[in-house]
């Protein structure tokens, strides 16, 4: 199967099901076996996926892609042994990062809900094509990508996280801040945006924010 058919949702599903690491092997860049150059799509997907893992507090080294040839059996074995060793060093998913299982599940499910949106912005704003892995690494570490990531994804992810915990019960800004590790100022900014979009409302009696009637976690349009 072409590595370009490995969807971000597949990767996230593996982590949700408790896998400690995900490895993707693809053809060498510019040597795709198909006309789609799917390995370029996979390279971008993995780079974005690693950024998302880091954003929710998971070690991005749990997701890895390597360019390999079917004739490189010895190298494949070496790469897989190294990856398995690295994942073992990182420890069980979530536990190695100091998260409870509930925190881990909540964070991963929040990102999962954003996948359709991520595919859309990926096609329109984040799709890039380079000739080497080094060029991909350089772009995804650049100020240009950071600006796009902040502009297109950070706010959406934060609002989705807030909406997901408000599904359970109304919370104050301070409570939300403690739950998610955001500053009160960040929570206030995201809540103001959510309020404008009709996603949350403020309950004067309880002095808490709650999910608006008809709203739902992940409804970010």
What's the pLDDT score for residue 70?
Answer: 83
171 three-state secondary structure? strand
pLDDT band at 221 (very low <50, low <70, confident <90, very high): very low
What's the pLDDT score for residue 30?
Answer: 86
Radius of gyration of the chain (CA): 19
What's the pLDDT score for residue 22?
Answer: 98
What are the residue ranges of CATH 1.10.10.10 in the chain?
Answer: 154-221
**Of all helices (H) and strands (E), which one includes residue 130?**
none
18 and 25 Cβ atoms separated by less than 8 Å: no
Over 80: is that where the pLDDT of 135 sits?
Answer: yes
- For the stretch 162-189, pLDDT in tens is 988 898 889 999 999 988 888 999 999 9
Gap between the terminal Cα atoms of the chain = 34
Crossing angle of helices 155-166 and 173-180, in 10° steps, is 110
Nearest residue to 99 via CA among 25, 20, 155, 187: 20
Report the share of the chain in percent with pLDDT over 90.
62
Our separate counts of H helices and E strands in the chain read 10, 4
Nearest residue to 62 via CA among 20, 13, 8: 20
Average pLDDT over residues 77-86: 97
Whether the full predicted model's pTM is greater than 0.75, yes or no, is: yes
Name the average pLDDT for the chain.
90
Nearest residue to 173 via CA among 160, 159, 164, 183: 183
Give the Cβ contact number of residue 68 at 10 Å: 17
- For the stretch 43-79, pLDDT in tens is 999 999 999 999 999 999 999 999 998 889 999 999 9
- For the stretch 96-130, pLDDT in tens is 999 999 889 989 989 998 999 998 887 888 888 99
Over 90: is that where the pLDDT of 155 sits?
Answer: no
What's the pLDDT score for residue 193?
Answer: 86
* Domain covering 154-221: architecture: Orthogonal Bundle (1.10)
Over 70: is that where the pLDDT of 219 sits?
Answer: no
The DSSP symbol for 115 reads H
What's the pLDDT score for residue 145?
Answer: 95
List Cβ<8 Å contacts ≥24 apart for 113-116: 113/160, 113/164, 113/217, 113/218, 114/153, 114/156, 114/157, 114/160, 114/218, 114/220, 115/7, 115/8, 115/9, 115/12
CA 99 to chain centre: 16
85 and 78 Cβ atoms separated by less than 8 Å: no
Over 70: is that where the pLDDT of 216 sits?
Answer: no
């Amino acid at each position: 199967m072409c590595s370009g058919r490995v969807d971000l949702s597949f990767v996230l599903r593996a982590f949700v099901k408790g896998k400690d690491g995900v490895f993707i092997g693809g053809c060498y860049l510019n040597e795709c076996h198909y006309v789609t150059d799917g390995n370029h799509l996979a390279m971008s997907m993995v780079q974005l996926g690693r950024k998302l893992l880091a954003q929710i507090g998971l070690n991005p080294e749990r997701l890895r892609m390597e360019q390999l040839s079917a004739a490189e059996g010895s190298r494949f074995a070496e790469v897989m042994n190294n990856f398995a060793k690295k994942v073992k060093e990182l420890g069980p998913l979530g536990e190695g990062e100091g998260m409870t299982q509930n925190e881990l599940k909540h964070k991963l499910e929040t990102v999962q809900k954003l996948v359709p949106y991520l595919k859309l912005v990926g096609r329109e704003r984040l799709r890039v094509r380079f000739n080497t892995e080094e060029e991909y690494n350089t772009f995804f570490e650049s100020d240009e990508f950071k600006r796009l990531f902040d502009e297109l994804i950070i706010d959406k992810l934060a609002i989705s996280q807030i909406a997901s915990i408000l599904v359970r019960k109304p919370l104050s800004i301070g409570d939300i801040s403690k739950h998610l590790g955001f500053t009160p100022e960040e929570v206030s900014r995201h809540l103001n945006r959510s309020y404008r979009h009709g996603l949350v409302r403020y309950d004067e009696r309880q002095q808490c924010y709650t999910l608006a009637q008809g709203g739902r976690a992940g409804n970010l349009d």
